[in-house]
Amino acid sequence: MRKSPAEILESYKLIGRRGLMLGGIQLAVVATLGLRLRSMQLDHADEYRLLSDGNSIKIRLIPPARGLIHDRNGLIVAGNEQNYRVTLTREDAGGDVATVLRRLSRLIPMTPERIEELLTEFGKRSAITPIVLADRLSWEQFSSIAVNAPSLPGVTPEAGLSRIYPRAGDLSHVMGYVGPVSDYDLSKIENPDPVLMLPEFQLGKVGIETKMEDVLRGKAGSRRVEVNSAGREMRELGRQEGQQGATVQLTIDAQLQNYAAQRLGEESAAAVVMDVQTGDILAISSSPVFDPNKFVRGISGPEYRALMEHDHRPLADKTVQGVYPPGSTFKMVTLLAGLDAGVINGSSGYYCSGFLELGTRKFHCWRRGGHGHVGVVASLEQSCDVFYYELAQRVGIDRIAAMARKLGIGVRHDLPMSAVAEGIAPDRAWKRARYDQEWRVGDSLNSSIGQGYVLASPLQLAVMTARVATGRNVKPRLIRAIDGVPQPIAEAEDLGLAEAHLALARRGMEAVMNSNRGTAMRSRIITPEWHMAGKTGTSQVRNITAAERARGVMRNDQLPWNRRDHALFVCYAPYEKPRYAVSLVVEHGGGGSAVAAPIARDILLFALAGGLPPLSAIPDGERAAMQARHDAMTLYRPDAKPSPGSSRA
């Protein structure tokens, strides 16, 4: 059927419109391709030309800034400082690393021995791995290297950050330190973060730095750089900044920590201060201290040997790693076990003649002539050993051990510190498993006064004191907040001990400080609202033979230092409304009342006063000595100068 002229005309129009539409689409595609080709050929020609010449655009990781660590008041105790260094990548050095190193040695000090060490290191590492040639350069050295960069292929001057501890030794055992990542470190990590491969990247080695490594490390950034045929960086094409590690706030009070460290002085000792309401550790000081900054910067061989060979073991954290026979500070445990078991009550007592005979052996009291009849409160006040020998036979070691664990001894407390010790609260099953021997009555007698197999750390003794003071299951904590988010405080449940029994133990501890016959009366606090309760302890580190007793036991000051008794003291205050608990151990210090109690009292006073202890808080006869101690101290003033660090904001 033939179409009419009008229909034919309409068909031509329709075909024309479709042709125009198809032509427009084709034109748009061609135009887009043309513009893209123009962009590639003109705008990005150099970039693609470099890419075609073989990996001339490279991706470099940017190490993240390590997270800051603050004390409870916001003072920086671990920060970051600017560090100028220079690295060399063998792949970019043109195959002649030795020549480059010799040229570099004209700009910065590099001995032939150092050059040989570096050449050996380059032989062990991948050709694409940058090696740090020198760090902590001066600005002049750094600038001279940058100016001479064209003649130093593969050499890259870098400005980065390095860890610094503004308070040096005050928190050395708590903070630990960072150091370069070693092959051993990498072997312990299943899938190492690529940032760990960066030259001289700093990784936490001990203390909080290692326990919170994942939180503090941050996330690496990256940059795209253009390099020429000699491997020299020509320009930066793009950058994505990394994310700084989290800011961690501790429960530690840096001023109290500083005072505790100075009060311990050069003693081989440890002190722990704990808030009995929250479990916050306000100070945890091990003495002697060391400077962690030396480990970050590279400690010398002689300096490290001096630390390792020191008889006071400055690298050991005695607060959580050290375990000691707690001596008479353990008597509250035995007393509460007896009261809880119903073996004794508030009116009970035993007679002390100076010793207790068990078979052919005598177990002596510290007071050679004995104490006579001793009641429950007086047993702590006068620290009568025979009272606890008698009690232990009736209570039994299993109940004593159970009470010890309830009060925090023989328990590994969860703190982000290295090698936190569990201590030992021995019982029958423990001895059978450890020595394949049966428990003996004599073992119970020794354990009842904190000797024998019993071992406790200063941290555990502080926890024990806090739990006796409050009757609650107070748990220690060291981290207050992470990136401003408060960390939860563990609920301190009731211990399930009768309040009347706890009151007897507290009365005994109060009498230790404030009674005329109290073993630590000279170290009391006379300010009424700060009255303290405490308990002395002296633990033997050697056996005293019958022959030595017959001719007279040698005083501690007549013995070599490492054969003297340990001095211990625990306390809390205020007595009526407990706020702080303190434990203190002085290795080979002698008597707890003479050596440990005055130190612990001063530290407790600093916490109570919120600063330097007032002389009016102690007896007249002790004030001159306290004033002399304070005059010799260089106390930490947080407003003296700003702490180094870098903000995460």
pLDDT in tens, 571-614: 999 999 999 999 999 999 988 889 999 999 999 999 999 999 99
- Kindly state the average pLDDT of the residues 37-49: 65
Is residue 157 within 8 Å of residue 149, measured between CB atoms?
Answer: yes
Burial class (CB in 10 A: 0-12, 13-18, 19+), 583: buried
Asked whether the predicted pLDDT for residue 18 surpasses 80, the reply is no
d(CA 513, CA 567) in angstroms, rounded, equals: 16
More confident call, 582 vs 562: 582
- Phi-psi sector, 562: left (phi>0), alpha (psi -120 to 50), beta: alpha
Asked whether the predicted pLDDT for residue 563 surpasses 60, the reply is yes
Sign of CA dihedral 328, 334, 339, 344: negative
Q: For the chain, give the mean pLDDT.
A: 87
What pLDDT shows up at residue 44?
64
What pLDDT shows up at residue 498?
97
More confident call, 212 vs 222: 212
What pLDDT shows up at residue 437?
97
Q: 3-state class of 269 per DSSP? A: strand
- Kindly state the average pLDDT of the residues 22-27: 77
What pLDDT shows up at residue 627?
95
Residue 543: pLDDT band by 50, 70, 90 thresholds?
low
Question: What CATH code is assigned to 254-290+318-632?
Answer: 3.40.710.10
Residue 649: pLDDT band by 50, 70, 90 thresholds?
very low
Asked whether the predicted pLDDT for residue 428 surpasses 90, the reply is yes
What pLDDT shows up at residue 556?
67
Residue recorded with tokens 């791995």: 129
Minimum mean pLDDT range among 94-98, 541-545, 584-588: 541-545
- Kindly state the average pLDDT of the residues 381-388: 97
Cβ within 8 Å of residue 418, ≥6 positions away:
176, 206, 207, 210, 211, 317, 320, 321
What pLDDT shows up at residue 434?
96
More confident call, 392 vs 106: 392
Question: Residues spanned by CATH 3.40.710.10 within the chain?
Answer: 254-290+318-632
* Cα–Cα distances in angstroms (integers) from residue 321 to residues 16, 65, 327, 603, in the given order: 92, 30, 18, 21
Architecture label for domain 58-125+132-250: Alpha-Beta Complex (3.90)
Residue 637: pLDDT band by 50, 70, 90 thresholds?
confident
Question: Residues spanned by CATH 3.90.1310.10 within the chain?
Answer: 58-125+132-250
